[in-house]
Amino acid sequence: MQDMIDGRCGWCGTDGLYVKYHDEEWGKPVTDDGKLFEFLVLESAQAGLSWITILRKREGYRKAFCNFDAGKVARMTDDDVERLMHFDGIVKNRLKIKATITNARLFLAVQEEFGSFRDYTLSFFPGGKPITSHFRSLNEIPASSPESDAMSRDMKKRGFKFFGPTICYAHLQASGFVNDHLTGCICRNGQ
């Protein structure tokens, strides 16, 4: 994979949806817990799949999971799981669907304990501040970090599903807790 394509991190290639996601969302700091829950749902759904697969199904996930309203998702039942197993807009994996509901309940508990999921996430970072990396090559970007390892471990203890260190790191990148845009990327300035 090329490090840079058209002035961007090469992982997004030239697919219009991927480029838009790269330019408008990836690595931009998210302060809204609703958006953090959306990324948590989508990243968990991605486990074992490519991110572009999940991006293409994002609107389906939005419809299936109450516009990513954690409170509504937390109240979903086994009947909802059965209904979603026949919903074409998402990955029809019973374990992942059930995990989304479980994760919503746990997300709300974390919010209650820490005041916000953002504050919980920042508790794993030195000085409670996001990290800006200075990588020049895609090969330098790690699959996980001490922060994602610690957060994933804690989330596992709390009962979260489909959120290991690699998925956790992808979540941190997507939601701007870690800025891994390559130093030459057009999105690097102004972040």
- 3-state SS, residue 132: strand
Alpha carbons 3 and 138: distance in angstroms, whole number: 5
Helix (H) or strand (E) holding 178: strand 178-179
Residues making up the chain, counted from first to last: 191
Q: Is 51 a catalytic residue?
A: yes
How far is residue 36 from each of residues 99, 139, 184, measured CA to CA in Å? 16, 27, 27
Catalytic residue check, 61: no
The catalytically annotated residue of 26, 43, 120, 147 is 43
In whole angstroms, give the CA distance from residue 188 to residue 191. 6
Separation between Cα atoms, residue 180 and residue 136, nearest integer Å: 10
DSSP 4: E
In degrees, rounded to 5, the angle at the alpha carbon of residue 84 between the alpha carbons of residues 154 and 55 is 65
For the question of residue 43 being annotated catalytic, the response is yes
Looking up tokens 């480029």 gives 19
Catalytic residues: 21, 43, 51
